[in-house]
């Protein structure tokens, strides 16, 4: 499958501003980046990375792929809202993520590709390009800071 088809899906399905009500307040979340990467695990999982008070990354893993979504909020978010925020995002975005992964699963042969870079801030851009390099080199994305 040409990578252009994956870019088109990411742009059409994920390059959106989403408005949710969190703690009875409307919050606009803008998807600024999408990275698709292969992984050895075929399980289902998700991770949340806080980059700043208004930028974070939601990583969704399924069927041997991880989709990283770089999301920017129109206002600073408190840590207490993260569980509800992740629940709402997963509920809303899982069909689009599954569509992207299903298309990639059939014919995509790459290790990792940045599918969307929509005015990402410098911190998010650094995070995404660091992930891209690690995935392409086959390295773990998690850094161990102390001996387990």
**Residue 20: inside a domain:** yes
95/22 Cα distance (integer angstroms): 21
Q: What is the pLDDT of residue 3?
A: 87
Domain range holding 90? 2-143
State whether residue 100 is helix, strand or coil: helix
Could you read off the pLDDT of 70-108 as tens digits, one per residue?
Answer: 999 998 988 898 898 899 999 999 999 999 999 999 889
Mean pLDDT over the full length of the chain: 89
What percent of the chain lies above the pLDDT cut of 90?
A: 68
Residue 20, pLDDT above cutoff 90: no
**Residue 117: inside a domain:** yes
**Residue 49: inside a domain:** yes
**Residue 15: inside a domain:** yes
Q: Return phi, psi of residue 81, to 5°.
A: -85, -10
**Distance of alpha carbon 72 from the chain centroid:** 11
Better-predicted residue by pLDDT, 146 or 98: 98
- Domains in the chain, number: 1
Range name among 5-14, 104-113, 132-141 with the lowest pLDDT average: 132-141
pLDDT tier, 54 (very low <50, low <70, confident <90, very high otherwise): very high
Q: What is the pLDDT of residue 124?
A: 94
**Residue 66: inside a domain:** yes
**Residue 71: inside a domain:** yes
Q: According to the per-residue pLDDT averaged within each range, which of 25-29, 82-86, 125-129, 141-145 is highest? A: 125-129
Which DSSP string do the residues of 46-81 spell out, in sequence order?
Answer: EEEEE-SSSEEEEEEEETTEEEEEEEEESS---GGG
Residue with tokens 């040409």: 2
Q: What is the pLDDT of residue 22?
A: 77
Q: What is the pLDDT of residue 24?
A: 81
Q: Classify residue 14 as exposed, middle or buried by CB count within 10 Å of its CB (0-12, 13-18, 19+).
A: buried
**Residue 148: inside a domain:** no
According to DSSP, residue 26 is labeled E
């Amino acid at each position: 499958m040409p990578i252009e088809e994956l870019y088109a899906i990411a742009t059409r399905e994920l390059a959106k501003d989403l408005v949710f009500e969190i703690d009875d307040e409307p919050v606009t979340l803008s998807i600024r980046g999408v990275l698709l990467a292969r992984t050895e695990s075929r399980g289902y999982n998700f991770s949340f990375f806080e980059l700043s008070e208004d930028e974070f990354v939601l990583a969704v893993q399924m069927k041997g792929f991880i989709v990283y979504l770089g999301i920017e909020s129109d206002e600073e978010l408190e840590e207490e809202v993260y569980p509800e925020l992740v629940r709402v995002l997963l509920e809303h975005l899982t069909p689009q993520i599954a569509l992207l992964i299903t298309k990639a699963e059939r014919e995509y042969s790459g290790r990792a590709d940045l599918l969307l870079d929509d005015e990402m801030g410098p911190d998010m851009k650094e995070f995404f390009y660091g992930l891209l390099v690690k995935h392409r080199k086959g390295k773990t994305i998690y850094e161990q800071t102390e001996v387990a």
